[in-house]
């Protein structure tokens, strides 16, 4: 069996091998990537013949080579980046959520924990009635409506717990402590950059046949950016 490096080499009219498309001859790349030289002799190490285009022609061809190449690459990259950035183009609405009934929040000035349950869209899935967070509702003695704190820590988004024994809110992650009115226990010394986030509360009356009306508590469940001294919605 003859293993010959020359097999398959097409010769052009002048006896020169075609510059592209020959993978059998040894390709030698010079430092100028636009000039590819062929070694069609069998002895390795021998100086190959070079094909150097004329300068003007070279400039024009270089320009179009770069342009065509760039467009060929930028197309797919552009489509990819567009998809990648898609979350930035989407605005989410903060939902108004019914968290419970007024009868569930006695006017004892104590925080009462409620899950926030609403329909939830996650990319291609729609989840009916998902827990998407939690709030603490506090109704002061004699107050008509409660106030609502989101349980999401304004520091790094962990879920704040309430310690009834100590009468304070505590975050389990970086040990932020908040008073029962949502202010930081140590003020600006606290790890959390701002007080607990208050949410807007509204009451809605539902008529019940042959009975007292039922009053629902609705909360505008805004998701605020963490780690900032000011409240800014994430939407």
Task: Give me the residues that bind another protein (CB under 8 A), please.
Answer: 1, 3, 5, 24, 84-85, 87-88, 90, 92, 100-101, 103-104, 113, 115, 122-125, 130-134, 155-159, 161, 163, 170, 172-175, 177, 184, 186, 188-194, 206, 208, 214, 223, 225-229, 232, 234-235
Shortest distance, CB of residue 105 to another protein, whole angstroms?
A: 11
Give me the least distance between CB of 15 and another protein, in Å please: 24
Nearest to another protein of 65, 108 (CB atom) = 108
Q: How far is the CB of 148 from another protein (least distance, A)?
A: 16
Nearer to another protein, 7 or 47 (CB): 7
Cα-based angle 117, 123, 128 (whole degrees, multiple of 5) = 30
CB of 233 to another protein, least distance (A): 9
Smallest separation, CB 128 to another protein (Å)? 12
Burial class (CB in 10 A: 0-12, 13-18, 19+), 137: buried
In the complex with another protein, the residue whose CB is nearer, 50 or 159, is 159
Query: Distance between CA 12 and CA 18 in Å, rounded?
Result: 6
Report how far residue 137's alpha carbon sits from residue 98's, in angstroms, rounded to the nearest whole number. 12
Question: What gap in Å lies between CA 108 and CA 141, rounded to an integer?
Answer: 6
Closer to another protein by CB, 63 or 204: give it.
Answer: 204
**Closer residue to another protein, CB minimum distance, 55 or 206:** 206
- CB-nearer residue toward another protein: 7 or 56: 7
Instruction: Give the up-direction half-sphere exposure of residue 94: CA atoms within 13 A in the CB hemisphere.
Output: 16
String of DSSP letters for 9-51: PPB-TTSPBPSSS--SSEEEE-SSTT-EEEE-SSSTTSPPB--
CB of 213 to another protein, least distance (A): 10
Quote the CA–CA distance of 188 and 191 in Å, as a whole number. Answer: 8
| 198-199/26-29 β-pairing | unpaired
| Residue reference for tokens 């100086």 | 47
> For 38, what's the count of Cα atoms within 13 Å in the CB-facing half-sphere?
18
Q: Positive or negative, the Cα torsion across 177, 179, 180, 182?
A: negative
User: Which of 57/188 has CB closer to another protein?
Assistant: 188
CB of 55 to another protein, least distance (A): 33
């Amino acid at each position: 069996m003859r293993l010959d490096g020359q097999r398959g080499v097409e010769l052009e009219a002048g006896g020169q091998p075609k510059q592209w498309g020959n993978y059998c001859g040894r390709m030698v790349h010079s430092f100028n990537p636009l000039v590819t030289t062929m070694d069609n002799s069998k002895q390795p190490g021998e100086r190959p013949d070079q094909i150097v285009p004329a300068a003007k022609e070279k400039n024009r061809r270089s320009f179009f080579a770069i342009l065509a190449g760039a467009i060929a690459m930028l197309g797919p990259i552009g489509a990819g980046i567009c998809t990648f950035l898609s979350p930035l183009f989407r605005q989410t609405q903060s939902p108004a959520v019914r968290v419970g009934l007024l009868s569930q929040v006695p006017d004892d000035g104590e925080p009462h924990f409620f899950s926030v349950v609403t329909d939830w869209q996650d990319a291609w899935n729609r989840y009916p009635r998902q827990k998407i967070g939690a709030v603490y509702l506090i109704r002061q003695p004699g107050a008509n409506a409660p106030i609502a704190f989101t349980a999401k820590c304004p520091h790094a988004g962990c879920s704040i717990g309430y310690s009834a024994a100590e009468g304070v809110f505590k975050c389990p992650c970086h040990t932020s402590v908040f008073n029962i009115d949502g202010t930081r226990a140590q003020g600006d010394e606290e790890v959390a950059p701002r007080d607990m986030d208050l949410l807007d509360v509204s009451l809605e009356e539902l008529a019940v046949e042959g009975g007292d009306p039922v009053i629902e508590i609705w909360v505008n469940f805004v998701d605020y950016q963490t780690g900032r001294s000011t409240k800014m919605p994430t939407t």
